Structures are given as C-alpha cells and as structure tokens.
Amino acid sequence: MLKQRLWRPLWQSLAIGTGLAAIAAGGLIPAAQAQTREDLPECEPPQSGEFLLLVRRASRDVEDRLYTALPQNVSAEPCRYVGEAVMRLEGFPSLNIAKAWADYVRDRTGLQAFAIESPSARAAAAFQPTALGNGYAVLVNYFDDPTVARELRDFLSRDVGLASYADRPYLLASSSTDSKAAGELMRRLSDRGFTAMVVDGRQVMLLRQAIALPIDR
C-alpha cells in the first residue's frame, strides 16, 4: 500500500527521534514472518537522477511508526531487493538527503537502511529472468548483505548481476565458456574475502544483468 506525503525538511522530523528510538526497544520481526519474500515483486530501480531508500522489513507496528517520521512526499511499498524483503521509499530530491535519512533510520531505529543510486542503462531493463546457458558462471554469496554487491563491483570495476542457483539468489560476477578464466576469477575473489564458486551456467537463471547498488555512507 502506497503512502503519499508532502516534503518536509529532515530537521523538522528530528523531534520524532524519541518515538523512533522506542522502535528499536520493541524488537524486530523478520520480514518472512510478516510476508514471504516470494510474495513480493522485485524492486523497481531508481530512475535517472532519482535516489531511493531501502529499509529492511520489520513488523507492521514498527513500519507504521517509521512512516510517521518520513518526509510527507515519500511513498513506500514492499518489494524484494537482491532477494531480501525491504520497504522501497522514493521521493528524496538529492543524494545527500537520501543518505541523511538512511543514517537517521539506522541510528534511531536499528533497522538496516540503504540509499541506492540509479543503475546503468542495462539495469533499468524490465525484469525478465532467463537461463544463462552454456558455459561457466562465477557466483558470489552475499549473505543477505546488499553492500557486498558494491564491494564486488568496486573490485571488478564493472556492473554486478543477480542470478538464481539452486533456488537461492547470488551475485553474478561473470559468465564465460572459458573454464580457466572462470576458475582464475574465483580464486581472485576468494583471495579478497568473497565467498565465490564456479557452477554450470545451464543451471543458473539470470535475474538481472546489473543491479542498483547501495550508496557508500
């Protein structure tokens, strides 16, 4: 359900901090208990020049109290982001404001919150899962932590994809028919601390060629 509001500056919401601090004390309920991730649509990527805030799902009561502190023009809807159930908040007019709200939500509620930027042009394509096909896929387990995607992109210096293997989501580092190149990349990733593996590309479903990524704090 969408909630529409008129914009108000961040400082006007700081007075609500006491109420938000109480949210953390109330404890968090995993998103899967409120609504399964499989029931949620994939999050729409931000448009060019648009900035979003993604907040990991909590209980309905926690989310309702969070809404009261948000700028009034911000709309919110549940969706899936790299396999994780989140609330997608849009309506932030600048990068600095989106990052400030991400910090504010984390500090006041304990909820995980990330500002994300516009993806590359190919990431904005419609969500169309396709079989990866012949060859070898180098997959990275991100352990439900979206920031791993940014670290992986920074290491590779190119876009990071999203794929499904054995009914689980993984970051797609590369796909190739060259088994030697795939193995070498896996070793490089492992040396840098990523949990990487090489699998048969025919068993991999490509979900997105490139994904929108969290913005560094």
Q: What is the mean pLDDT of residues 123-140?
A: 79
Average pLDDT, the chain: 76
Using the predicted structure, report yes or no on whether residue 139 has a pLDDT greater than 90: yes
| 53 in the same domain as 19 | yes
Could you say which of 97, 118, 139 is where a domain stops?
A: 118
Rg over alpha carbons for the chain, rounded to the nearest Å, is 18
Using the predicted structure, report yes or no on whether residue 199 has a pLDDT greater than 90: yes
Domain presence at residue 2 = no
* 201 DSSP assignment: G
pLDDT of residue 215: 53
Instruction: Please tell me which residue, 111 or 21, carries the higher pLDDT value.
Output: 111
User: What band does 214 get if pLDDT is binned at 50, 70 and 90?
Assistant: low
User: What band does 3 get if pLDDT is binned at 50, 70 and 90?
Assistant: very low
Could you say which of 85, 118, 151 is where a domain stops?
A: 118
pLDDT of residue 14: 32
Using the predicted structure, report yes or no on whether residue 119 has a pLDDT greater than 70: no
Q: Which among 67, 56, 51, 31 is positioned nearest to 110, based on CA atoms? A: 56
| 185 in the same domain as 163 | yes
pLDDT, one tens digit per residue, over 39-93 is 788 888 887 777 888 988 877 777 777 777 777 778 888 898 877 888 898 888 7
Provide the percentage of residues in the chain whose pLDDT is more than 70.
Answer: 75
pLDDT of residue 76: 83
Using the predicted structure, report yes or no on whether residue 20 has a pLDDT greater than 90: no
| 92 in the same domain as 53 | yes
- Domain containing residue 192: 124-208
Give the start-end residues of each E strand in the chain. 51-56, 75-81, 84-92, 113-116, 130-131, 136-141, 161-165, 168-176, 195-200, 204-208
Tell me how many degrees the CA angle 143-145-162 measures, rounded to the nearest 5.
Answer: 80
| Count of C-beta atoms within a 10 Å radius of residue 205 | 14
Domains in the chain: how many in total? 2
